[in-house]
Amino acid sequence: MEALILSAVGIGFLHSLVPDHWLPFASIAKAQGWSRQKLFGVSLLAGVAHVGSSIVLGALGIFLGLGLVNLQGTESFRGNIAGFLLIGFGAAYVLWGLKHLRHSHLHLNDTKKITVWALIAIFIFGPCEPLIPLMFLAVQYGWYGVWLTTAAFSIITVFMVVSQSMLAFMGLEMLPLSRVAHMEQWSHVMAGGVIALTGVAVMFMGI
């Protein structure tokens, strides 16, 4: 049991290093001027949603006696949806950023709300691919083992999503964009481009 818990922690850590788990939050937070408190709250909520959707699917699969292969196929499908949503969201944000360059009177507050919920929705669709196999391995220890393994994976994953988002944001804060002519106003376009490229990398480069 101890080996399975350690594996869950290690796999959760490595799984969360992929840029799509933290780069979108840091990029949008920098572009929209979020406070660190807001970034913490949004990334925490998205991280919980990210692991929560897979926990629900895995628990239902175990309870209903579904095969692991079927659930992995579902997770793969969800992953494709999340990848395309990330690309689409990034591209849409680039277009909005270009429009904002022409019409600086556009209301940023409304866009901030839409952006937050769009990111969270994408993370709900985005699966934790390694989690469900770990849950099935833990079945031999009963539901106690399943929930303990799930908790270990989930805690480290959410921690990594939040901490990496915060660290990346603090790094971006150190970039002197405001001192470079016309760079600050391009922040929305750059953020959207980073998010779209992250989606492309995850979808087509297998990272």
Quick one: DSSP state of residue 18?
A: S
pLDDT in tens, 119-177: 888 888 877 878 888 998 898 888 899 999 999 999 999 999 999 999 999 998 887 65
Quick one: DSSP state of residue 130?
A: T
pLDDT surpasses 80 at 179: no
pLDDT in tens, 70-94: 666 666 777 777 888 889 998 988 8
- Alpha-carbon distance of 87 to 200, in angstroms, equals 6
Report pLDDT for 180. 46
In contact, 166 and 23? CB cutoff 8 Å: no
pLDDT surpasses 70 at 25: yes
Q: By CB neighbour count within 10 A (0-12 exposed, 13-18 middle, 19+ buried), where does 63 fall? A: exposed
Q: Which two tokens stand for residue 127?
A: 């699966």
Report pLDDT for 22. 92
Nearest to 4 by CA among 110, 119, 114, 141: 141
Residues 6+ apart with CB under 8 A from 187: 30, 31, 97, 177
- What type of residue sits at position 115? T
Report pLDDT for 96. 82
- Alpha-carbon distance of 178 to 185, in angstroms, equals 9
Report pLDDT for 181. 42
Total Cβ atoms within 10 A of residue 42: 21
Q: Find the length of the chain.
A: 207
- Alpha-carbon distance of 136 to 183, in angstroms, equals 49
